[in-house]
Structure formats: structure tokens, C-alpha cells
Amino acid sequence: MSAQDRETSPPPQHAAAVAVLLRFLDYMRAEKGASDHTLEAYMRQCRMFVEWMGPRFESWEACTTDSYRAWLYEAMQQELKPASIRQRFAALRSLYAYLMLREGYTANPLADLTLPRARTGLPVHLSLKQMEELLSLPLRTPVDKKSPAWLPFRDAAILELFYSCGIRLSELVSLNADAFAGGADCVRVVGKGRKVRLVPVGEYAREAIEKYLEYAVPDPQGPLFISRLRRRMTGRSVQLMLDKYLRCSGIPFHISPHKLRHTFATHLLDAGADLRSVQELLGHSSLSTTQIYTHVTKTRMKQVYLEAHPRATDIED
């Protein structure tokens, strides 16, 4: 090995650390059903710590609480958001849980580490009027002459499905065309942890999908939503599509596919849906995750109060 190779190659202990990470990711994939997106994030976040430690890193077992406290301090000095810091340490905590369960480690250096509390911001969502405007845009926005004629129908179907089902972006792009064979009124969704759930599909979404399938004619055994090159759409391409329509709208803030999920949940609760049903539709494993939406159902709460309280009077918005 040349001197230059020795300078650029990672220390042996770093290679050993990566080997441990690969076993950990195999465990997360096989036994915890973690998605590829989660696995990539875990690998990136754990390697970030190893690279930060540099030659001080000997092994995962040799890392101390002080090592992680110093890394936490640096992250806070960089003014990283609490959510970003907690995400880094979530990967490491999962790693040490695995090491203690499967590789004989007897101590977890992260057990006594106190992380900054995540700020629980209000979920951003569209009003009903804004949502209706967004849903109407694909079929009334001029189409690029180079684009296939079916493209607006695909975009309309995607937006209708997001709003009708509240599914995640990863769940939408993984759907295959056979999911809607015969005009199914429910769709089988594979969510986080490979958990499967059936989600009802509303009439508007079914009609939009049927029209898209009629014009685009994707392979019945292939992806449901295809790109111009007739390949499976990526999450990035869906976001770019959404950005295009937002620029044509009067919506004054940025919207991601996940915010359409927030909109789905908020509108259901505003209309009187119970929290447990919304939890099942969203595929949340814990009801506490769904409860973040309850504060935005002011209209519903006012209605219940006015109808139920014997001394209620009209309340101004």
C-alpha cells in the first residue's frame, strides 16, 4: 500500500465499526421491518459520529457517555434544531439496543444522556378551500407540448389519492397498478415497519385513478404512478410535481406531501371523525402520535359546546 493510500484509507477500527453497523442494519431490516429510507438515515447518522471522533474512535464498546455528551454539545453549539439532534441520537440508541440484545454489550453509554426537548409545532395544513384549489390545478394548468397527454390525469390522481387516503409519500410511490384492478374501493398500503393496512378510497380519487389508468395504460404488473419515461415515480419527482402546482396557486406557504397527510387528518377530525379511526387510517402505532391533530379542530369543538352546554351562547371566531 502506498503512503497516499495509507493517508486516505480509514483506520482499521473505523472499518470494524462499519461492519457492526451493517449487522445492525440487517437486524433492523429483517426483524424490525425498517424501510430503506430509515436504514440509510441510521447508517449516515452513526457514521457521522465515527467520522467526528476520528482517531479517538476505538470501538462502539469503548465509547463513553462523555464522548456522546461532547458530540451533543458541539451539535448544540452549531444551533441544530432539537428535532435534528434527537434524530441523530435515535439512530445511536437503536444501535446500542441491538448491541446489548445481540452482541453481548453490557452497558449503554447513551442511557444517562439528556437530549434537548423537541419543540412540538402545530401541523401545517390546507383549508378546505385551498385543498379544493390544489386538486383542480392539474386539469386546468397548461401542459408542456413535450409532455405525454396523460400527465395531468396522473397528477390529478396523485393529489386526489393523497387527500382521499392520507397515505405517506413512500406508500404512494410503492403502489402497483394492480392495487386498483376492478376499481377497488380500498387500497392495501404497506407502511412503516412493513405493517399492512387497508385504507378506503373516496369516489373522487377512484374516478381520477380510473381516468389516469385509461389514458396512461401502465403495465398492470408494474408501478401505478409512472414518470414520463414510464418508470416508477420517485418521492423527489412527486415533490417537484407538487411544487409546480403550488407556484400556480394562491397558497401562501410551502406544502409537502406530508402536509397533505396533515390536511387529511385535520379535515376528518373537523368533520367529527373519532381519533381512533383516524389513527387506524393514518397507520399510527400510537394514539399519542395522532393526538397532535386534535388542537386544530376548533370548529368541531365549538359546535359540540354550543349544542351540549345549557348556558352556551354564540362564540365569535
145 is catalytic: no
Task: Classify residue 11 by its DSSP letter.
Answer: P
Query: Would you say 216 and 150 are in contact if contact means Cβ atoms under 8 Å apart?
Result: yes
State pLDDT tens for residues 60-109.
999 999 999 999 999 988 888 888 899 899 999 999 999 999 999 999 99
Measured over the CA atoms of residue 217, residue 196, residue 88 and residue 78, the dihedral's sign is positive
Catalytic residue, candidates 125, 154, 168, 262: 168
If you search the block for the grid coordinates 399510527, which residue do you land on?
284
* pLDDT, position 34: 84
284 is catalytic: yes
258 is catalytic: yes
pTM for the full predicted model: 0.66
* pLDDT, position 225: 97
Catalytic residue, candidates 88, 125, 206, 261: 261
Of the chain, the end-to-end C-alpha distance in Å amounts to 74
Q: How would residue 120 be classed by pLDDT, with cut points 50, 70 and 90?
A: low
What's the whole-number mean pLDDT along residues 48-65?
Answer: 94
State pLDDT tens for residues 262-279.
999 989 988 888 888 989
DSSP H helices in 166-234: 169-173, 203-216
* pLDDT, position 1: 37
State pLDDT tens for residues 146-194.
899 999 999 999 999 999 999 999 999 999 999 887 667 889 998 887 8
CA distance 13 to 83: 30
Q: What is the mean pLDDT of the chain?
A: 87
Residue 125 has pLDDT above 50, yes or no: yes
300 is catalytic: no
Q: How far is CA 113 from CA 44, 83, 89, in A?
A: 21, 16, 10
User: What number of other Cβ atoms are within 10 A of residue 13's Cβ?
Assistant: 17
β-bridge mates for residue 43, sequence order: none
310: which 3 cell numbers?
345549557
Measured over the CA atoms of residue 114, residue 115, residue 117 and residue 120, the dihedral's sign is negative
Catalytic residue, candidates 93, 258, 300, 302: 258
CA distance 131 to 62: 53
